[in-house]
A and B are shown apart, each in its own frame.
Chain A
Amino acid sequence: MIREEEGTPRRMTRSNLCEPKTPIQATSIKKTSSQFDQTNALPVSSVCMTLDDLHASLPGRRMQVEEILNLLGPLDSPMLPLFLYGGTSTGKTRTIVQIFHHLNRPFVYVSCLSCQTPKILFESVLDQLASHKRNSGNGYSSFKQCDRSSDFLELLRDAVFSWRQKSSNVCGVRKEGNGKMIYLIVDNLEVIRHWGKNSELLSLLFKIHDITRIMDLGLIYISCNAGPEIYYSSASSTEPVPIFFPDYTEEELHQILLRNHENPKLYNSFLKLVLKPFFRVTRRVDELSLAFKPLFQKYCEPLTDLSVIPDVSLTRELYQRLRPHIAFSLDEIFMVTTRFSADATETSEKTIVRKRNARKLVCEELDFHMSISAKYLLVSAFLASRNPATLDASMFDTKGDIGKQKRKRKNSETTMQKENTKAHEMLMKGPGSFSLERLLAIFQCITSVSDICVDEDNEEVVGDDNEVGLMSDVLLQLSTLCDANFITKGGSCPLESTRYRSSIDEDMISKVARTINFPLSKYLYRG
C-alpha cells in the first residue's frame, strides 16, 4: 500500500514533465458540486445523533453537555445568552457543534479567528442568515456591505426576520422540529480582545441581546482561556450564563486518545506507558496527540502485524525499545520529519544520542554557508551586545590582554553581590544595543588580530591573499545579517547612526566562532 503510494506520484511527476496534467483523478468533484448547488437555508446537520452517541462522542464532557442541553431547553424556548469558556482544546467548539447536530436545529457559526475585521465578521453572519453563497458570478462579494455596527444590528434584525419567513414557508419540505429559533455561535472571542481599537465590537457582541430584543435569536459565545471576569467591562445588563470547561483529567485523556484506533488493545498498552510522563508536561489533547503519533509508529515498528494483542512480555520488550524515544520527544516541541524515512530515523537516533549527553555542550558544525567576513561580523556583533561598552578598550587591546581580563575577573569575584546583580541585569535587559561605529571598531580589532590564523588555515592554497582584506564592504554583510535575523536593527534617522542588537543565541555563536577558530570565550566578558 505504501509502495503504491510512492509509485503513483513518481509516475505523475514524470508525466507532468511533458504535459501539465493534474495528478489527482477528479473523483469527488461530483460530490462537492452536488454539495455546492444544494443551498439549504442553514446548516441543519445531516447526521442526527442520539443522546448516547452525543455522550459517546464527547468523553469527559457529560456534565457540560447536560447543562447546555438544559439551558438551550426544548424547542422554541427563549434563552439567556450562553458563554462557554475553558482552556485551549477542551472541546468547547466540538461540544457545541455536536450538540446542535444532536438537536438538529439551525445555527449560524462565526469564528473571530477567521475574521480579522468587524466588517468581515458582520458580513459572514449576514451571508449565512441569508444563505448567500459567494461565487465568481457575484464576484465573491458578500450579501450586504456592512461596515458600521449600527447598520449591522439593523440588518441582523431584518435578516433574522426574513429567515423566519423563509423557514416557515419551506417548513413542509424541511424536517420537522427545526423550530423558529435560530442560534448564533460566536467562537474565539478572546481574539477580539487583542484587536485593540475594536474593543467596542466586543461589547456590541455582548449587547446584541439587549439592543435588538429578538427573542428567538439564541446567542452562544465561546471564549478560550478567558473567563467572564475578563469581559466584565464590556458585559451587558443581562450577563451571559457562563459554562466552564475544565481541562481533561488523565483518565479522560486516556479515553479520548483511545478513540477510533484500530486495535485499541495495543494502543491502550502504549498509552499506559507514555501518557503518565507526558501528562506532567502538558494536559492539552492536541499537543499530546501530536506527540504520540510518531511515538506510536516507533512503538509499532518491531511488530509484524498490528492486530496483535500484546501480552506482558511483549509490552515490556516494546517499552525497552521505546524508552529513549519517549525521553527524546518529551524534550521536543517541534517535530520535523526528513523526507526519506531512512535518514529520518538515522537523524533521530543521532539526536537521541545527543540528548543523552545534552548536559555538556554538544559540538556540531554550522550547517549553512556564511562568508568568513560575515562570520567575523556576527561574532563582533555578539561581543558588542554582550560586553559592556566601557570594557572594549581593555578587551581589544591588541597585544595579549588576557592577564588584565583575569584580574578583572578576580576582583569581580570578590564582590559576589555586585556580580549577582550584574548577572541579573544582563538576564533582564538581554542583548544590549550598539552603534555601527562600535561594531566596525570591534570588527576591525578582531580581524586584525586573527588575520594570522586565517592565513594559516588556508595558506596551502592561497599564497598571498591579503590583498582581499576582510574590511571591505562590511555594510553589505551587515544588511545580510539583519535579513537573516541574527542582528535586529532599531529604526532611527538615516543620518545619525542606527542602533543594532544581536539576537543570536550562545551555542549558535559558539558554532560560528569554532568554524573560524576564533577564541570567543577569551573576549567575552562574564559579569
Chain B
Amino acid sequence: MEVTEASLLLRRRLCDPSYIHSIFKSSPDGNYSKLKFIISNSINEACNNSVLLLGPRGNGKSAVLELVLADLKVEHPGIISVVKLNGLLHGDNNNGLKEIARQLCLEFDLPFSKMASSDENSELLIDILRECGLAHKTVIFTLEEFDLFTQGKQRVLYSLLDALQFLTSQAVVIGLSCRLDADQLLEKRVRSRFSHRKLLFITPLKDDMQRLLEHLLLLPKETNLSSIYVVEFNSRLYKILDSKEFKYHLKKVIDIDNNISNLVMFLYRAVCSMDLKSGFLSLENFKKAISYFHPYPKQESLRNSSILEFYILVCMNRLDAKEQISFNFNSIMNEYKAIMDAYKTSDNYTRNVCLRAFEHLLERGLIMLTDNNVRCQSIEFRPVKSLISPQELHQALKAYNPCPVLLLKSFNNECFK
C-alpha cells in the first residue's frame, strides 16, 4: 500500500517542474534569488523593469519564475497581479493585446469585451497601468516563448514597453526564451525601450546533479509513510547512488544530454519500473531505464529495413562513390540492374517493387528528395540523396544477421578498394 503511495509521490515529484527546481531556491547566487531581487526591488522602488530569462529548454526558467512569483505573492499580498502570455498562443499583435486586456480585466474585475479593437485594448492597458502606478500595485507580465513575440511587427512588445517607458508605474516585463540571442531579434525601437538585464539558465553542474538526485528520489520523513520503510528506502537509495556502477550509468545519461529534463526522464523511467512487491528502487531499475535510451535513431531504423531496401541503399552508396553529383530513382535502378546482371541472384525484382522499397526508405527518412517538387513530375525523376554515411551502412550490413554475401560484396568493392 505505502509502496504504491511512495511511487506515486516520486512520480508526482518528477512530473512537477516547480518541485524539481525548488532545490535551487537555497543557493544564494542562483537565478532564483537574482530574479526575486530584481522583481522585489522594482516593487519596493516603484519603478518599471524588464528582464530576460534565457537558457536551453528544460532548465527550469518558467519553473523558477513561478516559484519566485508564488513567494512574492506571499510576501506582498494583494499588490501583485500577474499577466501570463505565451508567444505560441498570443504571438500576433491583436491576439496578444486582447489576451493582456482579458487577463487584466479578470484581475481587476472589469467588464471585458471581445469586440474591442487592439487600439482600445492598448488604451485599456495604459490606463490600468497608470492606475496601478497610483495605487502602488505591481503588474508582472511574463512572456513565455519570448522569441515568438519578435516575429512580425512586434506591436505587443512595443506597446507594452512603450507604456512602461513613460508611465510612472511599477510593472515588470519578464521574457523567457530558449534562444540565447532573443534580444538581438528585437527591433531598434523596442530594444531601446528594453533594459538589457538577462538571467542565464545553464545546465546544472556535477554536484548539483547529485543534490538534485537526492532531492528527487529521497522519501521525506514527515509523511504518512511508515518511518521504517522510509529509512530503509533511503538507505538503499544512498547505496545505489554511491555505487560505482550507478555513477557510470549516470555519466552515460549526462553524456547523451546533460539538461535536467533528460535526467528527469531517466529517473522517471527508473521509478516507473520500480518493483511494487519489494517496494524499493534497485540498480536494475536504473539499468533498465538506461537501456531504453536510443542514442542512434538512424541505426535503429536502418536495422529495420529489408534486404531489398538495403540493396537500394547500397546502390545509392555506389553512385555516391562514383562521384555522381545527383541521381534519381532511374539511375539507382540502372545501378541495381547492373548488380543483378553482374551476379545472378534471387533478389532480382521488378521496377514496381523497387519503387515501393524506395518509398519505404523515404518514409523512414533514410533518404530524402533534394528538390521541392517544382515541375510536379513523377517521383522517379526527382533527385534524391542518401542520409546515411557509408560507415553506418557498413555497420548495419554487418549487424544484419542473414545478410546476403552478395550485398556485402557489392557494397565493399565500391567503398573499400
Interfacial residues, chain A to chain B (CB-CB below 8 A): 67, 70-71, 73-74, 76-80, 87-88, 148-150, 153, 200, 203-204, 207, 210-211, 215, 224-230, 235-239, 241-244, 246-247, 277, 279-284, 287, 330-334, 358, 424, 427-431, 488, 490, 501, 503
Interface flag for B41 (CB, 8 Å): no
Query: Which residues of chain A are near B95, meaning CB under 8 Å?
Result: 148, 150
Question: When the two chains form their complex, are residues A430 and B381 in contact, meaning their CB atoms are under 8 A apart?
Answer: yes
Question: When the two chains form their complex, are residues A427 and B331 in contact, meaning their CB atoms are under 8 A apart?
Answer: yes
Query: Which residues of chain A are near B88, meaning CB under 8 Å?
Result: 149, 200, 203-204, 207, 211
Query: Of all chain B residues, which has the CB nearest A237?
Result: B58
Question: When the two chains form their complex, are residues B89 and A88 in contact, meaning their CB atoms are under 8 A apart?
Answer: no
Question: When the two chains form their complex, are residues A237 and B17 in contact, meaning their CB atoms are under 8 A apart?
Answer: yes
Candidate in B89, B262, B356 with the most chain A CB atoms within 10 angstroms: B89
With A and B bound together, what is the CA distance between A150 and B8 in angstroms? 31
Question: When the two chains form their complex, are residues B331 and A67 in contact, meaning their CB atoms are under 8 A apart?
Answer: no
Q: How far is the CB of A87 from chain B (nearest CB, A)?
A: 5
Q: How far is the CB of A232 from chain B (nearest CB, A)?
A: 9
Query: Which residues of chain A are near B381, meaning CB under 8 Å?
Result: 428-431
Question: When the two chains form their complex, are residues A280 and B265 in contact, meaning their CB atoms are under 8 A apart?
Answer: no
Contact of A331 among B7, B272, B352 (CB under 8 A): B352
Instruction: Provide 5 A-B residue pairs closer than 8 Å at the C-beta atoms, listed in order of the A residue.
Output: A87-B304, A225-B364, A424-B324, A427-B327, A503-B378
Closest 5 A/B residue pairs (Cβ)? A430-B381, A150-B89, A247-B304, A331-B350, A70-B272
Interface flag for B268 (CB, 8 Å): yes
Question: When the two chains form their complex, are residues B307 and A80 in contact, meaning their CB atoms are under 8 A apart?
Answer: no
Contact of A428 among B61, B326, B364 (CB under 8 A): B326
Query: Which residues of chain B are near A80, meaning CB under 8 Å?
Result: 14-15, 264-265, 268
With A and B bound together, what is the CA distance between A360 and B343 in angstroms? 19
Q: A207-B88, A235-B57 are in contact. Are A241 and B349 (CB under 8 A)?
A: no
Question: When the two chains form their complex, are residues A79 and B15 in contact, meaning their CB atoms are under 8 A apart?
Answer: yes
Interface flag for B360 (CB, 8 Å): yes
Q: A70-B272, A247-B304, A430-B377 are in contact. Are A242 and B353 (CB under 8 A)?
A: no
Question: When the two chains form their complex, are residues B364 and A237 in contact, meaning their CB atoms are under 8 A apart?
Answer: no
With A and B bound together, what is the CA distance between A282 and B88 in angstroms? 41
Interface flag for B365 (CB, 8 Å): yes
Question: When the two chains form their complex, are residues A239 and B306 in contact, meaning their CB atoms are under 8 A apart?
Answer: no
Q: How far is the CB of B163 from chain A (nearest CB, A)?
A: 22
Interfacial residues, chain B to chain A (CB-CB below 8 A): 4, 7-8, 11-12, 14-17, 57-62, 86, 88-90, 95, 99, 144, 261-262, 264-265, 268-269, 272-273, 276, 292, 294, 297, 300-301, 303-308, 324, 326-328, 330-331, 334, 346-347, 349-350, 352-353, 356-357, 360, 363-365, 375-378, 380-381, 383
Query: Which residues of chain A are near B16, meaning CB under 8 Å?
Result: 78, 215
Question: When the two chains form their complex, are residues B268 and A331 in contact, meaning their CB atoms are under 8 A apart?
Answer: no
With A and B bound together, what is the CA distance between A80 and B272 in angstroms? 11
Question: When the two chains form their complex, are residues A244 and B294 in contact, meaning their CB atoms are under 8 A apart?
Answer: yes
With A and B bound together, what is the CA distance between A280 and B345 in angstroms? 13
Question: When the two chains form their complex, are residues A281 and B377 in contact, meaning their CB atoms are under 8 A apart?
Answer: no
Query: Which residues of chain B are near A334, meaning CB under 8 Å?
Result: 352
Q: How far is the CB of B373 from chain A (nearest CB, A)?
A: 12
Question: When the two chains form their complex, are residues B304 and A78 in contact, meaning their CB atoms are under 8 A apart?
Answer: no
With A and B bound together, what is the CA distance between A150 and B375 in angstroms? 38
Q: A80-B14, A427-B331 are in contact. Are A225 and B308 (CB under 8 A)?
A: no
Query: Which residues of chain A are near B261, meaning CB under 8 Å?
Result: 237-239
With A and B bound together, what is the CA distance between A153 and B334 in angstroms? 53
Query: Of all chain B residues, which has the CB nearest A226?
Result: B365
Q: How far is the CB of B28 from chain A (nearest CB, A)?
A: 25
Query: Which residues of chain B are near A424, meaning CB under 8 Å?
Result: 324, 327, 331
Question: When the two chains form their complex, are residues A246 and B328 in contact, meaning their CB atoms are under 8 A apart?
Answer: no
Q: How far is the CB of A487 from chain B (nearest CB, A)?
A: 12
Query: Which residues of chain B are near A70, meaning CB under 8 Å?
Result: 272-273
Query: Which residues of chain A are near B365, meaning CB under 8 Å?
Result: 225-226, 230
With A and B bound together, what is the CA distance between A207 and B89 in angstroms? 11
With A and B bound together, what is the CA distance between A483 and B306 in angstroms? 38
With A and B bound together, what is the CA distance between A281 and B303 in angstroms? 14
Q: A78-B15, A225-B365, A241-B268 are in contact. Are A330 and B90 (CB under 8 A)?
A: no
Contact of A227 among B4, B15, B297 (CB under 8 A): B297
Q: How far is the CB of B397 from chain A (nearest CB, A)?
A: 14
Known: A210-B62, A225-B363. 19 other contacts (CB 8 A): A71-B272, A78-B11, A80-B265, A148-B95, A150-B86, A211-B86, A225-B364, A227-B294, A235-B57, A241-B265, A244-B300, A247-B304, A283-B305, A331-B353, A333-B353, A427-B334, A428-B331, A428-B383, A490-B375
With A and B bound together, what is the CA distance between A228 and B256 in angstroms? 14
Q: How far is the CB of B111 from chain A (nearest CB, A)?
A: 18
Q: How far is the CB of A198 from chain B (nearest CB, A)?
A: 12
Q: How far is the CB of B361 from chain A (nearest CB, A)?
A: 10
Question: When the two chains form their complex, are residues A279 and B328 in contact, meaning their CB atoms are under 8 A apart?
Answer: no
Question: When the two chains form their complex, are residues B352 and A332 in contact, meaning their CB atoms are under 8 A apart?
Answer: yes
Q: How far is the CB of B342 from chain A (nearest CB, A)?
A: 15
Q: How far is the CB of A145 from chain B (nearest CB, A)?
A: 13
Question: When the two chains form their complex, are residues A428 and B327 in contact, meaning their CB atoms are under 8 A apart?
Answer: yes
Q: A150-B90, A210-B62 are in contact. Are A242 and B294 (CB under 8 A)?
A: yes
Query: Which residues of chain A are near B294, meaning CB under 8 Å?
Result: 227, 242, 244
Q: How far is the CB of B371 from chain A (nearest CB, A)?
A: 11
Query: Of all chain A residues, which has the CB nearest B307?
Result: A280
Question: When the two chains form their complex, are residues A331 and B57 in contact, meaning their CB atoms are under 8 A apart?
Answer: no
Question: When the two chains form their complex, are residues A282 and B58 in contact, meaning their CB atoms are under 8 A apart?
Answer: no
Question: When the two chains form their complex, are residues A153 and B58 in contact, meaning their CB atoms are under 8 A apart?
Answer: no
Contact of A153 among B14, B61, B89, B292 (CB under 8 A): B89
Question: When the two chains form their complex, are residues A77 and B7 in contact, meaning their CB atoms are under 8 A apart?
Answer: yes
Q: A73-B7, A237-B261, A427-B330 are in contact. Are A246 and B308 (CB under 8 A)?
A: no
Question: When the two chains form their complex, are residues A238 and B17 in contact, meaning their CB atoms are under 8 A apart?
Answer: yes
Query: Which residues of chain B are near A503, meaning CB under 8 Å?
Result: 377-378
Query: Of all chain A residues, which has the CB nearest B265?
Result: A241
Query: Which residues of chain A are near B377, meaning CB under 8 Å?
Result: 430, 488, 501, 503
Q: How far is the CB of A249 from chain B (nearest CB, A)?
A: 10
With A and B bound together, what is the CA distance between A495 and B272 in angstroms? 70
Question: When the two chains form their complex, are residues B334 and A150 in contact, meaning their CB atoms are under 8 A apart?
Answer: no
Question: When the two chains form their complex, are residues B350 and A358 in contact, meaning their CB atoms are under 8 A apart?
Answer: yes
With A and B bound together, what is the CA distance between A148 and B102 in angstroms? 16
Contact of B306 among A76, A236, A279 (CB under 8 A): A279
Question: When the two chains form their complex, are residues A239 and B262 in contact, meaning their CB atoms are under 8 A apart?
Answer: yes
With A and B bound together, what is the CA distance between A154 and B312 in angstroms? 49
With A and B bound together, what is the CA distance between A456 and B144 in angstroms? 82
Query: Which residues of chain B are near A224, meaning CB under 8 Å?
Result: 363
Q: How far is the CB of A281 from chain B (nearest CB, A)?
A: 5
Query: Which residues of chain A are near B58, meaning CB under 8 Å?
Result: 237-239
Query: Which residues of chain A are near B376, meaning CB under 8 Å?
Result: 488
With A and B bound together, what is the CA distance between A88 and B349 in angstroms? 22
With A and B bound together, what is the CA distance between A372 and B182 in angstroms? 67
Query: Which residues of chain A are near B89, meaning CB under 8 Å?
Result: 148-150, 153, 204, 211
Question: When the two chains form their complex, are residues B353 and A237 in contact, meaning their CB atoms are under 8 A apart?
Answer: no
Query: Of all chain B residues, which has the CB nearest A247?
Result: B304
Query: Which residues of chain B are near A235, meaning CB under 8 Å?
Result: 57
Query: Of all chain A residues, which has the CB nearest B15?
Result: A78
With A and B bound together, what is the CA distance between A192 and B381 in angstroms? 26
